[in-house]
Structure 1
């Protein structure tokens, strides 16, 4: 039994995750050396050593998530814990949260900073996957099948917007859309849901337009046209202008590992949101291509796992986690290259950050776990891949829950 389970793990997926983490550790060391000494007056390897610690914790969380059967997460008791914990963590920020970059998004415990919204992303995926998997037989029943999870999602996004953190709220919204779209709802139901969303959101956005579209936020859009313009280059366009310089300086082959110029104080926090700019400058198109190909493999592999999984809960989990990694990767890469405004979203598995890394450890571990069950049931228990689930007939269609 144990050998069969070990043979069923998706080792190509595990190797891709390991390679990204190791590569990210190397680039964090390279990109943070000067900034660590100049701004924080810490030893040059400070962030490198901290990321090593986070990677050790990453390994523990990843292994646990990959071993413990994912199916226990759809139990009602687990769902109650996930929902209550998410709400309490977000509500607690308004009393105990630490303000960073104008947003009350962090808990500060000594020298340890914890961003609960990172874990709420995964909590939303698990919750939506579990609820819609259970509602397969009546998923198009609007009041009973569709709306209850949407209300929870609205509350979560609203609490995050109040911090304010529009970037994270948008990411959670996009991830939820992917899960809902793949949940089995009819296009008619999805269309009705979109119409209600517009009716609710448009008046809210209009009422708060002065707060949402502040001068600072609008400047992020304006600098996209030309961050080197005199009125932007030392203000709103400073980060993007230096990112362009880093990417352009790298060319095809790069300047060489450790030889970035922009990381020497010109590109702020190069080890977090702008780490891809340093990769482009030092390793050129080869380093950028290496990261993008591995991220793309993880995302596409996850979607394939979701399509192969016969269990609706496992399928939605895999699609939701893959979407999260893909959406965050796109937002980071598009922001660094000036395709969309900067949002402060880290690059998965590469950027420095404990909260993001531990969330990814749990998410990727769950994805590997789902993959293992799919391969195991397909190879060793093909007759149970469907028959171990309860068949429910609705409108002439058979659903397995």
Structure 2
């Protein structure tokens, strides 16, 4: 008996994805049309671009859902993807121009490609492949199985060298937001690989400790001195805003201060869709990094909380797929994707609220950015495919058991 995968589609993941994507198109139009029209441009320009990427995303989901998962487990294919990604990252860093003080975009015709966005799903895929092949060794040797009992890697094909190279290129763009997401995603992947919980606790504690030391050092040394470092001069301005956004309202603190104003304007129920004040030239990047501030201003705390709850529901359903999966690769892929989306949400919300320095990270689904939407959609497609395969395998196993029982 053949079970068609179309009957195993997980609508508890697909429906929230569709709602958030459509809501994202509405928010993109709301946040970009006033300034576009003011500049004499097309008010639908940005949303049309986002819509094209969304249509491409739906096609990618339909295609990837029907494919066999075996193609994800081919080492030669993963190696090729990693090689191409390294080339694209180097081109975006050393060949392309800067946008908002950072490299990272490759212009292809009317569209731009941001390789760092695609690295998120590639890194989850790569580590899930590597770690899933070491499950027996991990069960015996714990964390040492992942490092071959060597704290310092000796070969280029060591996963630690590859990961450090990829994240390092992103960091020197400088794109510390995506670099932070990638680093935290790696920690999550290590945590779900099967190692003892004490290793995860140690790594998490080390990250918190190092981050605290860095922030304290910048505060003691002074942002002005740190800003003289060639690569991280632009990033230093974000730290200045983090320490006191109201000290320089016309400069480094302009975005964060106006983010506060937007959230304050929203109150409990918001000003209404399209009625934001801050998006009309007061809050720069209102359609990307700080889009959720505008969401709060227009939908209010109550409406924004519902949107956030829907996103968290989607993430929890993805994590649940990973918890229930029996295949180690499938489990780590789903858990890594859920963790990556959770980290991106946390870093964005932390940045716009001043809990952590602003890093330029987009809000999942709602921010304008075709590359981000496409990557998230591909991640959703992988999870839907994994869930369908796991459920189909479970049904086949149940049918075999029932058949054996009837024969006996």
TM-score, scaled relative to structure 1: 0.86
**Which of 298, 307, 326 is the equivalent residue of 2:342?**
326
Give the equivalent residue in structure 2 for 1:264: 280
Q: Secondary structure at the match of 2:105?
A: strand
Going from structure 1 to structure 2, the CA distance change for 1:371 and 1:112 (only over 3 Å counts) comes to same
| Contact 2:13-2:384 at 8 Å conserved across structures | yes
Q: 1:216, CA displacement in angstroms?
A: 4.9
Distance 2:345 2:202 in 1: 30
Q: 1:194, CA displacement in angstroms?
A: 8.5
| Contact 1:332-1:346 at 8 Å conserved across structures | yes
| Contact 1:38-1:265 at 8 Å conserved across structures | no
Moved more, 124-133 or 181-190: 181-190
Distance 1:338 1:196 in 2: 22
Structure 1: state its 5+ residue gaps: 386-401
Give the equivalent residue in structure 2 for 1:277: 293
Q: How many residues align?
A: 380
Q: 1:120, CA displacement in angstroms?
A: 1.1
Distance 2:111 2:369 in 1: 11
* 1:179 aligns to 2:183 (yes or no): no
Give the equivalent residue in structure 1 for 2:248: 232
Q: 1:192, CA displacement in angstroms?
A: 8.7
**Which of 217, 220, 223 is the equivalent residue of 2:235?**
217
* 1:20 aligns to 2:24 (yes or no): no
Q: 1:67, CA displacement in angstroms?
A: 2.1
| Contact 1:9-1:375 at 8 Å conserved across structures | no
Q: 1:305, CA displacement in angstroms?
A: 0.8
| Contact 1:243-1:336 at 8 Å conserved across structures | yes
Distance 2:400 2:112 in 1: 45
Q: Deviations over 1:50-81 (max 9, x none)?
A: 11111111111122222213332111222222
Distance 1:316 1:52 in 2: 31
Distance 1:384 1:155 in 2: 47
Give the equivalent residue in structure 1 for 2:6: 6
Structure 2: state its 5+ residue gaps: 139-143, 218-224, 402-408
Give the equivalent residue in structure 2 for 1:45: 44
**Which of 136, 139, 145 is the equivalent residue of 1:141?**
145
Going from structure 1 to structure 2, the CA distance change for 1:275 and 1:190 (only over 3 Å counts) comes to closer
Q: 1:262, CA displacement in angstroms?
A: 1.1
Distance 2:309 2:206 in 1: 38
Give the equivalent residue in structure 1 for 2:310: 294
Q: Deviations over 1:214-249 (max 9, x none)?
A: 56534433433542x3x3111111111111111111
Moved more, 276-285 or 125-134: 276-285
TM-score, scaled relative to structure 2: 0.85
Give the equivalent residue in structure 1 for 2:364: 348
Give the equivalent residue in structure 2 for 1:116: 115
| Contact 2:131-2:146 at 8 Å conserved across structures | no
Moved more, 63-72 or 344-353: 63-72
User: Counterparts of 1:58-69 in structure 2 under 5 Å?
Assistant: 58-69=57-68
| Contact 2:5-2:66 at 8 Å conserved across structures | no
**Which of 136, 149, 165 is the equivalent residue of 1:155?**
165
Going from structure 1 to structure 2, the CA distance change for 1:58 and 1:92 (only over 3 Å counts) comes to same
| Contact 1:98-1:108 at 8 Å conserved across structures | no
Going from structure 1 to structure 2, the CA distance change for 1:12 and 1:189 (only over 3 Å counts) comes to closer
Give the equivalent residue in structure 1 for 2:389: 373
Q: Secondary structure at the match of 2:98?
A: strand
| Contact 2:101-2:234 at 8 Å conserved across structures | no
Distance 1:114 1:50 in 2: 13
Distance 2:149 2:365 in 1: 35
Q: Deviations over 1:20-70 (max 9, x none)?
A: 00011111111111122335x311111111111111111111222222133
**Which of 325, 333, 336 is the equivalent residue of 2:352?**
336
The RMSD of aligned alpha carbons is 3.1
